[in-house]
Amino acid sequence: MTDDDLDLDEQDGGEGSPIHPLEIAAFVLSATRRRWWLAALVFLSVAALGITAGVLLPKKYETLSRVLVGEGAFMVHVNPERKVPRVDEFRGLQERIFRQENLREIVREAELERLWTERRPTLLRFKDWLLRNGLDRQDERTRIRTLMATLGQRLVVETDHSTTITFKAMWSDPETAARIVEVTRDRFFQERLDGELDVLREALKIQEEQAKAAARDVDRFLKRVEKASWYEPPTPEPTPSGADAKPRVVEVVSPVRTEVKLEPDPLLVGKLEKVRQRIRETKEPWQRRLTELKLQLTDLSATYAEKHPLIIHQKARIEEASVPPPELDALKAEESELLAKIEAFSKAPTDEGGAKRTVRVNAPEVAAPTKTGPVRIEQSAAISAEQAKLITAINKYNELSERVASTHLEIATAETAFKHRYLVTVDVEVPVAPLKPKLPLFIGLGSVVFGFLLSLAIGPLVELLRGRLLAPWQVKTLGLPLLGDVPMERSGGR
């Protein structure tokens, strides 16, 4: 070999010779083939670890309930004279649902504290144990506040401000998500109903207290009338003794003791109150049923014509239901009879005459004082005044009883109308499939890709760390001339 050939070889294989990327790729593939078991082990380990992490990551389940808000004109159809205030169902909806007191009640009614402990995912349990910040390490107040904060983030209330309200919840447990939505929706209904009936209920309490006070006044005035109807006459003086004393006749005039039609027992008024209570208990279901039929007729009238068979049939049902129950007439007759007894007492006829009683006394003897006992006075100014007060108290009690019955009917009608205002178009269901798991899917696919790349790099990395020159490009990186490339047997490598 001449000097020119050596110079040419040094120029071709020296420090300035470029390294082709295909040479590196060939080296990587050959190193991977030589250590295929190591590459496979790395790939399977990384992929399995990533897929396991993706599977163990908590999934998110979402469920919802949609409510259709109807028009508030049902009460107007049932009672046209009643002025129903117009309520904006959507105003301040978010503030009412997410206020602290409401969230606290949702946590309590949905039993989130118990469900959180029982159904928390395994990976999150491990995280709580590792960080030592689980709910079991917190006091009760902190646990409730933590659950309230989490609930405020996972609960969603949407509305189109015209017809529908949607309640959504996203949770790591499907049954808990369904429970949260159900409790939130039911609390919304209950608070809305309470807001409409609170005034009527407070008025009913006041009226019932006034009716009880009026009943006590009736008892009190009844006792006063009875007390004023009896008179205790004074004891007569002894007859003087002496020889000249002659028999004489003493005439005592006292009214005849007559019995009034009203018994003095105040339980009569209590019996009247019980009869009226039975009247209300009989009357309210009948009127509630009649109200429901009228509401159904209103719904049908909005869809069908006046002479449609459904309209005619519904009117016939209303006419049939308008007949009062038979027991109601009997109770009213009993009520009238009791009222007649009370009125008869206040207007009982009196006997102006009196029964004469004669007592004869012998002159030689001294007549002992004779105690005649109490006598009934049928009419006097005091009795008339007390009877007038009694009649006034009875009339007041009757008026208050009617107002109490009317308020009961008003509350029952409002409750019936409330049922027709909201329609649950989409009910709560326990979700079967979770939401699309973006993060677990990303972790699983990423671990597969990363494991594949790492398996390709692990073989060449081991070869480089061992310091063996197995490829021409390694000689070029050292600045040495490449004299030749000798292929080796497959079993012996290169």
For the chain, give every domain's residue range. 3-57+438-477, 63-196, 204-233+248-348+356-362+370-426
Is residue 50 within 8 A of residue 444, CB to CB? The reply is yes
From the number of C-beta atoms within 10 Å of its C-beta (0-12, 13-18, 19+), residue 165 rates as buried
**Pairwise CA distance, residues 216 & 10, whole Å:** 127
**Pairwise CA distance, residues 65 & 405, whole Å:** 37
Contacts of the segment 228-231: beta carbons below 8 A, 24+ positions apart: 228/377, 228/380, 228/382, 228/383, 228/386, 229/260, 229/376, 229/377, 229/378, 229/383, 230/374, 230/375, 230/376, 230/377, 231/374, 231/375, 231/376, 231/377
Is residue 211 within 8 A of residue 404, CB to CB? The reply is yes
- pLDDT at position 491 is 42
- pLDDT at position 13 is 46
- pLDDT at position 465 is 73
What 8-state DSSP symbol labels residue 389?
A: H
Is residue 380 within 8 A of residue 187, CB to CB? The reply is no
C-alpha distances in angstroms, 62 versus 50, 202, 293, 313, 345? 25, 40, 39, 44, 73
C-alpha count within 13 angstroms, C-beta hemisphere, residue 348: 22
**Pairwise CA distance, residues 246 & 256, whole Å:** 30
Helices 381-419 and 267-301: angle between axes, nearest 10 degrees: 30
10 Å Cβ neighbour count for 315? 14
Q: Which residues, given as ranges, of the chain have pLDDT below 70?
A: 1-20, 23-24, 27, 55-56, 71-88, 122-123, 128, 133-134, 136, 229-270, 295, 299, 302, 342-380, 436-439, 466-494
**Pairwise CA distance, residues 232 & 142, whole Å:** 76
Q: In what order do the strands lie in the sheet with 422-426?
A: 155-159, 164-171, 61-69, 422-426
- pLDDT at position 473 is 64
- pLDDT at position 181 is 93
Q: Give the tokens for residue 465.
A: 């760390």
> What value does the CA radius of gyration of the chain take, rounded to a whole number of Å?
50
Is residue 462 within 8 A of residue 4, CB to CB? The reply is no
**Pairwise CA distance, residues 284 & 213, whole Å:** 24
Least Cα distance to 159 among 69, 42, 84 occurs for: 69
Q: What are phi and psi of 328, to 5 degrees?
A: -70, -40
- Which architecture characterizes domain 63-196 according to CATH? 2-Layer Sandwich (3.30)
